[in-house]
């Protein structure tokens, strides 16, 4: 199991309840939820990967079970990993998903490679 399917189902359910159209892509050894063709939120192993507004990044860093996303060995500003203890409660998971969905309209889309 590359990612926690139960956590992925919880995220899917939350996003559907908010009537947000999304698609799923397997990447980085986990699952990425794309909204408006932009990476929004994901599940890597048993952690939530949250793409949030860089303006609130420092404010929420190290709170609610969050830590810097250092997937490549270097922190990525605007991306956090949320440890299981930070998303055990549905209200905590919803807090993070809401932050991701709020930032999504402002997020830059990654450039598509020409084939």
pLDDT in tens, 36-80: 999 999 999 999 999 999 999 988 887 878 998 886 778 888 999
Short-list 23, 113, 95, 7, CA closest to 52: 95
Domain ranges within the chain, ordered by starting residue: 5-105
Q: Copy the structure tokens of residue 90.
A: 């549905």
Q: Say what the pTM is.
A: 0.90
Domain spanning 5-105: which superfamily? Answer: YgaC/TfoX-N like chaperone (3.30.1460.30)
Distance CA 104, CA 85 (A): 25
What confidence category does residue 113 fall into, taking pLDDT thresholds of 50, 70 and 90? low
Residue 22: predicted pLDDT: 97
| Dihedral over Cα of 64, 49, 39, 69: its sign | positive
Mean pLDDT of the chain: 90
Residues 6+ apart with CB under 8 A from 107: 38, 39, 40, 51
Residue 1: predicted pLDDT: 52
């Amino acid at each position: 199991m590359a990612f926690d399917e139960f956590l992925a189902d919880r995220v899917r359910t939350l996003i559907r309840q908010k009537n947000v159209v999304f698609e799923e892509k397997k990447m980085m050894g986990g699952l990425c939820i794309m909204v408006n063709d932009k990476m929004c939120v994901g599940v890597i192993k048993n952690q939530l990967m949250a793409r949030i507004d860089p303006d609130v990044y420092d404010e929420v860093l190290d709170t609610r079970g969050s830590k810097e996303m250092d997937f490549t060995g270097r922190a990525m500003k605007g991306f956090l990993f949320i440890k299981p203890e930070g998303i055990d409660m549905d209200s905590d998971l919803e807090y993070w998903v809401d932050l991701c969905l709020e930032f999504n309209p402002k997020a830059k889309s990654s450039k598509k490679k020409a084939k």
